[in-house]
Amino acid sequence: MLKAFNNLLASKVLQPILTIVLVITIAWALFQFTNTPENQREQVRILEREVTFDEAVNNLLNNTYEVYTSGSLFVKANITSSIGPDTQGNLNSPNPSVVDIPVIENKYDDILFTVQRNKVIRIDTKNQGSDETLLINRKGEIIYMNNLLKKYMVYEIPADSDKDAVSLFVALNSLFREQIFPFTPLLNDYKDKKFHPVRRAYNVYSGKWRHKVYTSDELKEVIIETDPITGVFKSIAIASSNPPSVIYFDFRKLDDVDHYDKIEDDFEQVPVPKPYKTKD
C-alpha cells in the first residue's frame, strides 16, 4: 500500500514539473532563434544562397585563387589494341584482340594550385614524403623546386635547334597551362559552346563533356557543384566513369600574387638534365 501511495504521489508531483520544464525549454529555444545575432543570421544566408554556374565562371575568370584539392580522377590508360590471331591460330586476323584497358587512379590529395584567371601559374605538392613546386615564371621559364633539398632547376626557353627540347618544353607548357587543372579545359569548352551545363538542383549543374584526359576521350556526364561561400566551385564528378571520379576544391582568393615565383635565397640552383640547349 505504501509503495502504491508513493508511486501516485510521484506521478502527481513530477508530471506537472516535467510539463513546465518542457514549456520553458521550447520558449527559450524560440527566444534564441528570434534573437540570433546578425552575424550568425548572415552566415546562414550565405550558406543558403544560390550561386549560378555563370557567376562561378566569372569569379574564376576574373580573379586569382589558391585552390586546395582532394579526391581522385580515374582514367583509362592509353593502350592500342593489337591484331590478334583468328580461331585457326593464324596471325593478322581482321578481328582485333580483346584488351583490358587498365584504369589508373590519379590522386588530387595535397595539391595546391595557384590559378590566375583560370590559368595555372604554380603547383605545390606535398604527398608521399615529397615537397615540390612547379611554376612558370614571368619570363615564361619553367621552374622546378625541391623544397626539402632546397634545390631548383630552371628550364629556360630552349634553342630552336634543339627539337627534342622544344617538343618537351611546349608539351609541358601546354599541360601546365591548359590541362592539369580540370576547370581550365572545361571552361574553355564552355566558352566555345562545346559544354552545355543544365541546372539539376540547388547549386548543382551537369552536362555531357568529352576530354582526352578527364573523361578518357569519351562523352560522359559531368556533375559540378558551386560553392555559396567562395562563389566559385566546390566539386566536379565524372558520374559515368567506373569507378566514379570526384575531385573537391577549396578556393581561397588571393589579392597579392607578386611573389608567386620567388625563390628563397638559401636555395641552390642545379643544372637541368642534359641535353637541353637554351637560346643564346
Q: How far is CA 2 from the centre of its chain?
A: 71
pLDDT higher than threshold 70 for residue 162: yes
Span 106-110, average pLDDT:
87
The DSSP 8-state label assigned to residue 118 in this structure reads: T
Question: Between residues 60 and 10, which one has the greater pLDDT?
Answer: 60
Looking at per-residue pLDDT, the higher value among 4 and 180 belongs to 180
Q: Collapsing DSSP states into helix, strand and coil, what is residue 241?
A: coil
191-219 average pLDDT score: 94
- Write down the mean pLDDT value for the chain: 80
Instruction: Report percent pLDDT > 70 for the chain.
Output: 71
* pLDDT greater than 80 at residue 108: yes
Q: What is the DSSP string of 6-64?
A: HHHHHHHHHHHHHHHHHHHHHHHHHHHHHT--HHHHHHHHHHH----HHHHHHHHHHSE
Give yes or no for residue 22 having a pLDDT over 70.
no
Residues near 13 by beta carbon (within 8 Å), at least 6 away in sequence = none
Confidence of residue 98 (pLDDT cuts 50, 70, 90): very low
Are the C-beta atoms of residues 245 and 72 closer than 8 Å to each other? yes
Q: Decide which of 145 and 257 is more confident.
A: 145
pLDDT value at position 164?
78
pLDDT given for residue 106 in this prediction = 87
What percent of the chain has pLDDT above 90?
47
**What pLDDT is attached to residue 84?**
40
pLDDT score at 18 = 54
Instruction: Output the pLDDT for position 175.
Output: 80
Q: Among 82-91, 150-159, 162-171, where is mean pLDDT lowest? A: 82-91
Q: Residue 135 pLDDT more than 70?
A: yes
Between CA 43 and CA 25 the distance in angstroms is: 25
pTM score of the predicted model: 0.73
Give φ, ψ of 241 to 5 degrees. Answer: -80, 165
What angle separates helix 183-191 from helix 53-62, to the nearest 10 degrees? 110
At 205, is the pLDDT very low, low, confident or very high (cuts 50, 70, 90)?
very high
Asked if 232 and 59 count as a contact pair (C-beta separation under 8 A), the reply is yes
Express each pLDDT in 70-81 by its tens digit: 999 988 876 444
pLDDT tens-digit series, residues 189-203: 999 999 999 999 999
Flag whether pLDDT at 234 surpasses 80.
yes
What pLDDT was estimated at residue 199? 96
Torsion angle, CA of 10/12/18/21, rounded to 10 degrees? -120
How many angstroms separate the CA atoms of 110 and 215, rounded? 22
- 170 CB neighbour count, 10 Å cutoff: 11
Grade residue 179 by pLDDT with cuts at 50, 70 and 90: confident
CA distance 27 to 259: 55
* Radius of gyration in angstroms for the set of CA atoms belonging to the chain, rounded to a whole number: 29
Closest CA to 264 of 170, 128, 143, 112: 143
Single-letter amino acid code for the residue at 136: I
d(CA 162, CA 229): 48
List the alpha helices (DSSP H) in the chain: 2-34, 38-48, 53-62, 163-174, 183-191
